[in-house]
Structure 1
Amino acid sequence: MEEPSDARNGVTVLVLSDPGLCTVRARSVAERFEQELTHLYGAATVHVRTQFLGISDADTLEFGTIATLREDYESVDVVLILTEMPRRSHGKPEMARIFPDESAAALSYPTLGVHAGRRRLLALFMSCVLRLVDGAPPEARERYEPRWNRWQEPRGDEPGYLLAHTITGVPRTVLGMVATNAPWRTAPHLSTALAAAAATGAFGVFYQSIWQMSAALSPSRLLMIGVLAITLMVLWLILSNGLWERAEHTDPTEVFLYYNLSTVLTLSLVVLGLYLALFVVILAASLVVIDPDFMTQIMGSPVDFSNYVDIAWLSAALGVVAGGLGTSFDETADLRQLTQGRREMQRRPEPEQHGGR
């Protein structure tokens, strides 16, 4: 453990965070983090810097880059790396890993889950610093010890690490990855699909056969049609954009399962949002365009609001299928960057990227 020249008189921490949600969360706790450190060490300075760090062929962070970044500051005692990359160790998601020789720690933000509160992130920050810098009161480490799990102390050449909970770790990590994917960012890249889906779904407002078909289908069958439409579009987006990750070798650090699950969930949320938006638009249009008396004549029985709902639901399903299967995306590369696996490829050395991970 490396101790600053006078730990009791102050400590300086540099937080290097991935762009996006990691940086937002790091900055949200920076002030409180500085206060907690000041309470323990007498004085503290926290720098938060957005930095997209590379990884080596050995799946480790490029510490040469980190050392260069430290030189931009007068004095840095600890470097905390907050990344969106998930990692596995001993069959579980790895929340944090300590590198004493570099006075650094790497923290995986997705392992904190979807609603990674400030208190949880702050506790993890503090716990890492207390393992890298001496000078704090003896009881401080226990105070900030994570309640959800215990640190594994360094053994030989293996640094200390903190693993996620055995039961909740994987689902929490996958959902956290979905949050860092920011599904709402995908909408602008699906404008062509949305236009095609809206054009196809509009036919349901004017074609009487769709009115009759929706009335003949049971609610459960209509629900199944909606689920099928969403599934088809998600599959199309994954296959047409090459978003499914394949492992080329077995390695305990590989997290392809996490990547693929988060990709499927992210795109499912996007397509579900598209479906519901179409449903609302078509429902509003049908209420305006279709006269109830005219629909009653066509259907041969009294109609009510549920008939309009059925028409909108079936039409939206047809629109989603048409928009997903019949549309190509002009910004394929940008769409790929919205998934974890593709963003990690950007961190790797050039030959590794061409080899495909």
Structure 2
Amino acid sequence: MLRVLVVADPGQPSRRVLRIRERLEAELERALTTPVAVQMRTELIRIDPDDTLDVSDVKRRSNGHEGLEIVLMATEIPRHRFGRPLVSEVLVADDVAVVSLPTLGVGAVNSRLLRVMVSCIMQMRAAPAEEDAQHRISWARWRGSAENANRLLQARRLSGGARTVCGMVLANDPWRIVPKLSSALAAAAAAGAFGVFYNSIWQMSAALSPSRLALISGLAIFVIIVWLLIGNRLWDRPRYASLTEVILLYNLSTVLTLLLCVLALYGSLVVIILLSALIVIDPDFMSSVLGSEARFSNYLDIAVLSASLGTVAGALGSSFDSDADIRMLTHGQRERQRMNTAE
């Protein structure tokens, strides 16, 4: 019987591995025509001072599993090698493989993860020609390492890079951080509520064209994203020139994650102010102020302009529930936590 241990980072990696564990066993038994037992362990995979994964530590800890032959590591760390996203690396001599979940993207991640893990084991247990014929991965290619006998599964530079950034945003779990913006939403709603009670804002919103309102909304969203980046020190800088490309991916994923969070905040604020305006502002009174018949679009314009003003005036002056929660959005901060743990 082939015994396989899957060590997964806490959070999304461990959840995904848990979902495919039984399928992984079945697929390996079919491919290798031998009984397979897959065990799973959740553990923060640590990083060495040179920013490489501490594979030796995982290998050492796996010695307690009797009869263990192969170790698969599933990590949320985006990996790069020779300018290309590194989906997986097989350390043939150690019977260890490392799979980077962000490089799998956001579509059919469980199926991609299953296919990559099976392919990794086939790289260790099957002849290369046989593995290529039966388990070819169309969006990435296995290559040999120039430094050793390891095998590298690398994606294309452009499509793989875009897929990696999207996967990093998914790994950041932006919807889990939205509740942490509750104080910002409360402050922004309080500031935006002035738009419901001050008819000068009604007149201004009616006079502005849709394109100008959209521009104001975009500027408000841009300002709060920059504020969050600077105020919470979320923008990473490479410590070494060799990490510049990787840090660029980190920063792109952070900006996109913040964009999703702020859009959720802004959308919630528009809905709150729109409902408040519909309840509070009498159509006849609005018509007398605007000098024309009040329409639903006028209420919507008021909500959009007030939400923009409230987002800037309220959210900038608010303090979040925990700065640490916001900073943990970024891969860079989570990687520093791994290094601190190792130290």
Instruction: Give yes or no for the alignment of 1:168 onto 2:145.
Output: no
* Deviation per residue, 1:184-222 (Å, 9 max, x gap): 111222121111001011111111011000000000000
Q: 1:307 to 1:107 in 2, by over 3 A?
A: same
TM-fit CA distance, 1:95: 0.7
Larger % of helix: which? Answer: 2
Query: Does 2:69 match 1:77?
Result: yes
How far apart, in 1, do the equivalents of 2:279 and 2:209 lie?
25
Q: Offset at 1:156?
A: 4.3
CA distance 1:349–1:224, shift in 2 (3 Å): same
Q: CA RMSD in A?
A: 1.9
TM-score normalised according to structure 1 size: 0.91
Give the secondary-structure state (helix, strand or coil) at the position aligned to 1:157: coil
CA distance in structure 1 between the partners assigned to 2:245 and 2:7 by the alignment:
23
- Deviation (angstroms), 1:254: 5.5
Partner of 1:246: 237
- Whether 1:58 and 2:50 are equivalent positions in the alignment is yes
**Aligned runs of 1:309-348 on 2, under 5 Å?**
309-348=300-339
Distance 1:313 1:249 in 2: 44
Is the Cα–Cα contact under 8 Å of residues 16 and 79 in structure 1 kept in the other structure? yes
Deviations 1:44-99 (A, max 9, x none): 01112211111101222223321233133222211111111111111111111111
**Stretches of structure 2 lacking an aligned partner (at least 5 in a row):** none
Alignment of 1:113 with 2:114, yes or no, is no
- Structure 1 residues 290 and 197, CA, compared in 2 at 3 Å: closer, same or farther? same
Matched, 1:291 2:289: no
Deviation at 1:116, TM superposition (A): 3.7
Q: How does 1:214-253 map to 2 (within 5 A)?
A: 214-251=205-242
Choose from 147, 163, 171 the match for 1:180: 171
Q: 1:272 aligns with which of 253, 260, 263?
A: 263
Aligned pairs for 1:26-175 within 5 A: 26-39=17-30, 40-134=32-126, 139-157=130-148, 159-175=150-166
Question: TM-score, normalised to structure 2's length?
Answer: 0.95
Say if 2:296 is the partner of 1:302: no
Q: Distance in 1 between matches of 2:300 and 2:64?
A: 60
Residue 64 of structure 2 aligns to a residue in which SS?
coil
Partner of 1:6: none
**1:261 aligns to 2:267 (yes or no):** no
- Extract unaligned runs of 5+ from structure 1: 1-9, 353-357
The Cα of 1:155 is off from its aligned counterpart by 3.4
Offset, 1:154: 3.6
